[in-house]
Structure 1
């Protein structure tokens, strides 16, 4: 039993809790520096050439699960350890404090009151009347009063002792919710062109929802700079129920536990026409070698496939820049314009943008939000000071002893004591 008690004391130690919190904070900082949930080859390529802090290469990083810190074994162990420490602290310290605050203590002897943090002795001319005045005043001020044979015990703000317990409970729920969400959540990032859709499957691999992009729009200022991205999406359930919503940056869609964010944008295709041919929609892809936001494609303009040209574009508004096979710039062609390129008439019809959608399903969100509410409520209660006073009438000497204690704001209670004394003495 003694060893168990020592272990519990160590687990609930403030120093241990601070150390765990420090380790968790360092781990979270590392999680922001190291890209998460990438392929193994990504970490080999990046960190074998340039080890993190000079010693952590790709192999070490993967060995210690730094590629998915928030779901790693050691990080979950830290969270569990902190949760156990908070629970033990609540049961071994905070609950006994709350029980003690709720328990009425009857001080029957003057020396008990004189030992309190704040104490005063009053020579009263009419003790009975003074005690009655004080009792009525305390009740009007919201104090709980217990009276017995010339003695008064009163307390106020006992509910404040519940605050630390609620904060501990909220933190435990927060860690449970965050962990549950990390282990069972789902994140999908997808670029969709208008008319395309994503099919979401449940755990039984059955279709749960279909998200179809109907329209994507980029709002630009007069100088052509992007100000906002908007996507009009249609949510289709398996039973045929449909719902249309618009999302934009900072205005996501929340639907039955799913959160859909407007995260990015791209260019999907160029629609063009050769002479009198049908309209052709040609996919384009990012070309980082030419710039941060440059998309393009290589197309042949002759039947034998020789002498191809490169089309590049950096905005859905155009224009399209055309290069020959040697990288020489031939011309710049705006949308709905046509020109002859190497003997072939080419017309740019339009440029089709694609919306970068980020889908997140986090089943731990209700727990996390509940924990925030509990922590805020507990923190508010913790501000309330718990005050207790005792009044004892020594009938033989017509002396009244009054004293009190407070877990915080003792100076506030000391300022109230003269008011109580005046009531007892008048």
Structure 2
């Protein structure tokens, strides 16, 4: 008794999961939530949501920072209920594919010598009986698979057109699998590394529950440079990265820039940002290294360092780029010098040389094992779009009242199919003359 109840419940669940309306409802729900995830900024701090989504006594009261945090709308795509919806949709597609689409495809391959209703068919033509073999030959010449039993003929072509729905389901299943794999095993790390420094992958922005950190890879920023336009605006910036293992053996070295990352064993190193960290200053025979502070002057990024030269004198070093001159002001705001790096100037009996401007580069390290799987899913989806334009045609032929009754149906391209039926008839008449 319990086994029968279990079996009945199992088939009810399978029937519900394979229901087309249920699948469409899940897809629309997931799409709506995804749209909401693009409207509400994701993975920001609490202060951001408190400032941008305050509690107000109007319609926006529903979408405020408290509700956003309570329902997890600040990280929708990693929320447990969103993953549950994806899993349900995944199971629904698999169930629908194997319980409906695959049996439908197998059924389409079977020959069907079934009677037809003349009142329900608009593609019925009558041909004189001259040669039953010739009508079979005519169908074969038009690429139909032909089956004969007694005085009945069945032919079909374009079976691949029936694969389009299956390809769509398979592509979505593969794409979802790739997304889930990336969600649980991928990570994103953001590193700010000064020129010449080594780094480990450690500053994680986002990581999956089962992500793996490659501890045996050490990176180094060998060089950093900026390419400027004629108007002094930045055209591109470059970082030369070398990767080594824990035995200090070189693995790979490459110059990266925006939209040209370094890829190595599933890791991708993107160039994201840059900054000026400090100055190396030589005062007489003493070399010091000081940190720069970023400010904005007329919305232009500028870096400043306040050097207390004596108890009563201060020098201000202003830097606005790697290749631009360094401006030196006194405490009264008077411009004293405008120099390049490695250029020496004298002040208060001391020789001062700016040996180097130390830049830093922003590197985003990302790994996502699901990307190739997602690409495969989209590739299959493209195939499904192409195959969906192919017609699935069926033709039945009976001999009745000394006439050949020809009936045809198609799932798309009705006018093209009617023209093909006319060509088949003409070809039959031609070969039987």
Q: TM-score, normalised by structure 1?
A: 0.84
2:360 matches 1:354: yes
Of residues 382, 385, 388 in structure 2, which corresponds to 1:379?
Answer: 385
SS in 2 for 1:83: helix
Aligned pair in 2 of structure 1 residues 206, 386: CA closer, same or farther (>3 Å)? closer
Equivalent residue number for residue 255 of structure 2: 246
Aligned pair in 2 of structure 1 residues 114, 205: CA closer, same or farther (>3 Å)? closer
Residues 182-209 of structure 1: CA distance to partner in whole angstroms, max 9, x if unpaired? 2321111222222112223796766231
Give the distance between the partners of 2:122 and 2:334, measured in 1 at CA: 88
SS in 1 for 2:286: coil
Conserved? CA contact 1:335–1:349, under 8 Å: no
Of residues 74, 79, 82 in structure 2, which corresponds to 1:72?
Answer: 79
2:244 matches 1:236: yes
Equivalent residue number for residue 193 of structure 1: 194
Conserved? CA contact 1:174–1:371, under 8 Å: yes
Equivalent residue number for residue 134 of structure 2: 133
SS in 2 for 1:265: strand
Matches within 5 A, 1:137-286: 137-200=138-201, 207-238=215-246, 240-274=249-283, 276-286=284-294
Matches within 5 A, 1:329-368: 330-331=335-336, 333-336=338-341, 337-339=343-345, 346-368=352-374
Give the distance between the partners of 1:215 and 1:208, measured in 2 at CA: 22
Aligned pair in 2 of structure 1 residues 63, 266: CA closer, same or farther (>3 Å)? same
Residues 77-129 of structure 1: CA distance to partner in whole angstroms, max 9, x if unpaired? 2322322332333234322321221121013x5x55674442112233x1xx2
Residues 283-307 of structure 1: CA distance to partner in whole angstroms, max 9, x if unpaired? 22433587452333333222x6x75
Aligned pair in 2 of structure 1 residues 392, 420: CA closer, same or farther (>3 Å)? same
Aligned pair in 2 of structure 1 residues 33, 419: CA closer, same or farther (>3 Å)? closer
Conserved? CA contact 2:185–2:211, under 8 Å: no
Equivalent residue number for residue 207 of structure 2: none
Give the distance between the partners of 2:347 and 2:402, measured in 1 at CA: 114
Deviation at residue 400 of structure 1 after TM alignment: 0.4
Aligned pair in 2 of structure 1 residues 198, 75: CA closer, same or farther (>3 Å)? same
2:125 matches 1:120: yes
Deviation at residue 155 of structure 1 after TM alignment: 0.7
Conserved? CA contact 1:215–1:232, under 8 Å: yes
Give the distance between the partners of 2:221 and 2:256, measured in 1 at CA: 11
Residues 130-166 of structure 1: CA distance to partner in whole angstroms, max 9, x if unpaired? x323322332332211123232211101122122112
Moved more, 225-234 or 235-244: 235-244
Conserved? CA contact 1:333–1:348, under 8 Å: no
Residues 341-372 of structure 1: CA distance to partner in whole angstroms, max 9, x if unpaired? 67865433332322221111112112212211
Unmatched 5+ residue regions in structure 2?
A: 1-6, 203-209
Conserved? CA contact 1:150–1:392, under 8 Å: yes
Give the distance between the partners of 1:184 and 1:268, measured in 2 at CA: 34
Conserved? CA contact 2:314–2:331, under 8 Å: yes
Deviation at residue 380 of structure 1 after TM alignment: 2.0
Give the distance between the partners of 2:357 and 2:37, measured in 1 at CA: 38
Deviation at residue 169 of structure 1 after TM alignment: 1.5
Deviation at residue 386 of structure 1 after TM alignment: 0.8
Give the distance between the partners of 2:236 and 2:281, measured in 1 at CA: 27
Conserved? CA contact 2:330–2:336, under 8 Å: no
Conserved? CA contact 1:152–1:392, under 8 Å: yes
Moved more, 209-218 or 57-66: 57-66
Conserved? CA contact 2:261–2:269, under 8 Å: yes
Equivalent residue number for residue 63 of structure 1: 70
Q: TM-score, normalised by structure 2?
A: 0.83
Deviation at residue 419 of structure 1 after TM alignment: 1.9
2:415 matches 1:411: yes
Say which structure, 1 or 2, has more relative contact order (CA 8 Å, 6+ apart).
Answer: 1
Deviation at residue 72 of structure 1 after TM alignment: 1.1
How many pairs does the alignment contain?
414
Give me the CA root mean square deviation: 3.2
